[in-house]
Structure 1
Amino acid sequence: MNPRRRVRLARSLGLGGLWLAAVLVLAMWVGVFAALIPARAALERADWQLQTLETRLADAQATLAPFDPLADPQTLAAVGALNRLAEGARAAPFLDLAFGKEALNTAVTLTAGWEDALRTRPPMPELAEARESAAAWRQTVERSGRRLTLGV
């Protein structure tokens, strides 16, 4: 084989190899990008859900803040005493005639519901902690999304 022909053959094989490598790299990039699209969509959805949760927790805090003093033990004890009084009034035979059985039953139901609502309402510090946790998770999701984008 003549030396010029060898150089031409080596050059054409080298160019073919470079083109093949470029096509393979491009195909790899497209494949990685296509594989990570669902992950990016899941991260964006998680970010939106965390933002919604954080907003709702802030609304709950703003709504419950004026009622926070009602959760004091003294208030809870007063409501419990009021509930016991309503139950006692329902059991008294003469008050039943004066106010009516339905009115006394409504008073007992109302005071029991009020007492239950005060006992089971979420405390403000727990709402603040849940909101901070949601914000921290949101930052983690955003950081993961940035890393994923940079990785692609």
Structure 2
Amino acid sequence: TIQNSQGQILRRVEPGGFTMGTSRAEPSRRANEVIVPVLITKPYFIGTREVTNREFRRFRQNHDSKGDIHASLAGDLNPVVNVTWEDAVEYCNWLSTQEGLPLAYKKVFERWQPIEPTPDGYRLPTEAEWVWAIRYQGRSSATTFPWGRS
């Protein structure tokens, strides 16, 4: 694991292959889900927990987590909520700048796009990277949930 300048802990996820999706036998399966083979070819780092309100407010001081709806939403140590994909991308680029890393996203015609090939800066994980990190990494088989099968 490594710790960045913001105090966030990131763990290294090693490459590997797995099948992603849900079989027809799974009770939680959606109609559009199929099983596909996936190969993660490079190691990557991923946060060991969600970004907190305190961490996100270092980037955007006026961020509103809707604490007026439920007070706990705005707690400093609670996961940040009320964030768009674009907000998350801008936060990733801000983190990259803080760490002196290349940016992972650029604006093209007013829309954020990932920079290819993927640089070493902070970025959101792909769906496959997320699944690999939470369901497979370090286990002999997949689990239904990050904490196990039930």
Structure number with higher strand proportion: 2
Query: Which bin holds the TM-score, normalised by the shorter protein?
Result: under 0.3
Larger radius of gyration: 1
With normalisation by structure 1, the TM-score equals: 0.21
Of structures 1 and 2, the one with the larger relative CO (CA 8 A, separation 6+) is: 1
Q: Quick check: which one's helix share is greater?
A: 1
